[in-house]
Amino acid sequence: MLINTFIHIPGIGPATEKKIWQSNILSWKDDNNFSSSGLSASKIENIKIFTEQSNKHLENNNPNFFEALLPSNQHFRLFPEFRHSCAYLDIETTGLDASCQITTIALYNGRDIKYFIQGKNLDAFLDEIQKYSVLITYNGRSFDIPFIEEYFNVKLPHSQIDLRYILKNLGFKGGLKKCEKALGLDREELDGVDGYFAILLWNEYRRNKNQKALETLLAYNIEDVINLETLMIKAYNLNIRKTQFFETHKIAEPPKQKNPLKADLKTIEMLKHRYY
């Protein structure tokens, strides 16, 4: 979809992009057909300059160029071309303010799942994340990424696809779990576990050395990143359904990755009884 994109070019909005497509200019390779587009000579020249730059940045695997120019709700266009270097990311914390700490981080690349735990291997996250150029999150632009940067005192150079903006543009609002349900995802035994409950699980693990609480927390954290892949593909397909590229560009949903950890129902019920 990226090579069919023109709205990252200054002065080109959705209406003009649609007009370009209707003129049978369907990708950057078709820029010789602009004479039939009805656009001004100056606009055509600007488009040609940017499509040449775009080709170079794509060849050099530089998603930052496109991320900076595309609206946040259009970042789904990055996904197919940079899928090989994407990682789905989610963190859990002890709270929301600046004095809080990261407890666990889950990372998934569509094949392998890795997780990082405070007091065990959390610092290894910084080396692992360097293997990727695009991070896919839900609300990560406002929460996960700034929290990570503050916690580790680093600046992550990655491009970001934040599904919050993409799904909101499609009419799905109200947080990750609500979006999942609206799009047919089932968390089974983790249904009802949320960010606040994740704090209770961490506290139970730290105070009482309850390994089942830690495993449940990690299962919850991992479920987030596994589901992000499904949401990413669903959101991408729903967006391109509105274009003439759907039949050629749609992405098949892979079987859902199996969560390597399992939530402990006894621990969940115990904490619900204690706190709720």
* CATH number of the domain residue 238 falls in: 3.30.420.10
> Any bridge partners for residue 137, and if so which?
162
| Average pLDDT of span 13-19 | 92
- Model confidence at 31: pLDDT above 80: no
**Which one, of 229, 227, 232, lies nearest residue 170 by Cα?**
232
Write the burial class of residue 77 (CB in 10 Å: 0-12 exposed, 13-18 middle, 19+ buried).
Answer: buried
Q: What's phi and psi for 161, nearest 5 deg?
A: -115, 105
56 plus 151 within the same structural domain: no
CA 71 to chain centre: 15
**Mean pLDDT for the stretch of residues 267-271:** 95
Tell me the C-alpha distance between 226 and 213, whole Å. Answer: 20
Q: Are 102 and 90 in contact (CB under 8 A)?
A: no
Q: Model confidence at 242, in pLDDT bands (50, 70, 90)?
A: confident
175 Rama class: left (phi>0) / alpha (psi -120 to 50) / beta: left
| CA 2 and chain centroid, separation | 16
Q: Are residues 92 and 190 in the same domain?
A: yes
Give the residue ranges of DSSP H helices in the chain: 14-22, 41-59, 63-69, 79-82, 125-129, 144-152, 163-169, 176-182, 195-208, 211-240, 246-249, 265-275
In a domain? residue 83: no
Q: Residue 36's pLDDT is what?
A: 64
pLDDT bracket for residue 29 (50, 70, 90): confident
* Residues 127 and 241 reside in one and the same domain: yes
127 and 257 fall within a common domain: yes
Same domain, 183 and 264: yes
Residues of the domain holding 149? 88-275
The four Cα atoms 88, 93, 96, 99 give a dihedral, to 10 degrees, of: -130
- Could you report the per-residue pLDDT of 164-193, keeping only the tens digit for each? 999 999 999 989 999 999 999 999 889 889
- pLDDT tens for residues 109-154? 999 999 999 999 999 999 999 999 999 999 999 999 999 999 999 9
Q: What is the mean pLDDT of residues 204-230?
A: 97
Residue 155 pLDDT greater than 90, yes or no = yes
* Residues 52 and 167 reside in one and the same domain: no
**Same-domain check for residues 214 and 96:** yes
Shared-domain flag, residues 146 and 232:
yes
Average pLDDT over every residue of 39-59? 91
Query: Looking at the predicted structure, is the pLDDT value of residue 33 above 90?
Result: no
Q: How far is CA 230 from the centre of its chain?
A: 10
pTM, to two decimals: 0.95
Count of domains observed in the chain: 2
For residues 44 and 141, membership in a common domain is answered with no
Nearest to 87 by CA among 116, 124, 114, 60: 114
Q: Tell me, yes or no, whether 98 and 217 share the same domain.
A: yes
In a domain, 190, yes or no: yes
* Lowest-pLDDT range of 20-34, 87-101, 149-163: 20-34
Residues 123 and 229 in one domain: yes
pLDDT of residue 44: 87
Q: What percent of the chain has pLDDT over 90?
A: 84
DSSP code of residue 172: -
Domain boundary among 13, 40, 60: 60
Domain end among 60, 79, 98: 60
Residue 34 confidence (pLDDT) above 80 = no
The C-alpha atoms of residue 190 and residue 203 are separated, in whole angstroms, by 18
